[in-house]
């Protein structure tokens, strides 16, 4: 994608990867609008980055999505980049009873939210001279972590949906890119400084470089072996991945 001359709307843009991407696009001179559900954090990022606009959005509410989409297309008619970044990562245990309310919240936020928001803005994006939809999935879309099974499943589903959306938009001016972060040291679970986690600034720098290309998927070299999930050897790979995390758990 072209990294300059855009009007960018990014969900979950008040912290972590979302904020990192928002500020990276802002520094390149793009118009940036960030969405989040905590007004106090929206006010902070706007104050620290004069010119970034904040929009309150409940990504789990399809009516609120429709409201925000209508407002955006009116107030920012040049909007041409949508970054579906908002996500939550509660722990769950698929070996026991599943909390239906928590599972529904994960699905509504991580999967249905991006689907609904993109649908609401797609007609507008198709009218732009050039437009890009970016889906933020995860390395866990390829290799699930068993302690966050529903989260991993939503990221796998969003990856699949991005493949279909990209194909269906192949003859339009709307490109679809996917970023698949590794473990990045953010507050998605808890910012810990764990050496296994990639520093946020390093991840953002590499990801912006990848987005500047025509790559359909942007991921760092550190997860390439997991992205190249070895087909019929998948079960052994997933077991080994999770056994390592059992032996060396993520601090929470």
| Per-residue tokens: 145 | 């972590």
Residue length, the chain? 252
Three-class SS string for 198-230?
Answer: ECHHHHHHHHHHHHCCCCCEECCHHHHHHHCCC
Q: Is 161 a catalytic residue?
A: no
Given strand 81-84, what is the order of strands in its sheet?
53-56, 31-36, 7-11, 81-84, 131-136, 174-179, 217-218
Query: Whole-angstrom Cα distance, residue 5 to residue 31?
Result: 8
Q: Give the separation between CA 36 and CA 21, rounded to whole angstroms.
A: 14
Query: Is-contact 118 84, C-beta < 8 A?
Result: yes
Of the residues 26, 142, 151, 161, only one is catalytic, namely 151
Q: How far apart are CA 175 and CA 165, in angstroms?
A: 9
Q: What is the dihedral of CA 66, 72, 77, 78, to 10 degrees?
A: -110
Question: What contacts 54, CB < 8 A, 6 or more positions away?
Answer: 14, 33, 34, 35, 36, 39, 42, 43, 45, 46
The catalytic residues are: 151
């Amino acid at each position: 994608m072209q990294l300059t001359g855009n009007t960018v709307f990014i969900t979950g843009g008040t912290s972590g990867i979302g904020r990192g991407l928002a500020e990276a696009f802002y520094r390149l001179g793009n118009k940036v609008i960030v969405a989040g559900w905590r007004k106090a954090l929206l006010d902070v990022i706007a104050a620290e980055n004069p010119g970034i606009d904040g929009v309150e959005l409940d990504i789990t509410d399809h009516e609120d999505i429709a409201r925000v989409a209508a407002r955006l297309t009116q107030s920012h008619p040049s909007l041409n980049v949508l970054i579906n970044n908002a996500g939550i990562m509660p722990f769950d245990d698929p070996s026991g009873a599943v909390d239906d309310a928590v599972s529904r919240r994960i699905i509504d936020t991580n999967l249905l939210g991006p689907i609904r928001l993109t649908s609401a803005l797609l007609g507008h994006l198709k009218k732009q001279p050039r437009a890009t939809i970016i889906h933020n999935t995860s390395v866990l879309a390829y290799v699930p972590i068993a302690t966050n099974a529903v989260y991993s499943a939503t990221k796998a589903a969003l990856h699949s949906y991005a493949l279909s959306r990209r194909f269906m938009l192949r003859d339009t001016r709307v490109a679809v890119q996917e970023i698949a972060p590794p473990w990045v040291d953010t507050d998605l679970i808890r910012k810990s400084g764990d050496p296994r986690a990639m520093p946020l600034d390093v991840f953002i720098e590499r990801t912006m470089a990848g987005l500047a290309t025509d790559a359909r998927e942007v991921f760092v070299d550190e997860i390439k072996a997991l992205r190249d999930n070895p087909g019929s050897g998948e079960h052994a790979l997933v077991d080994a991945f999770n056994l390592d995390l059992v032996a060396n758990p993520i601090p929470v």
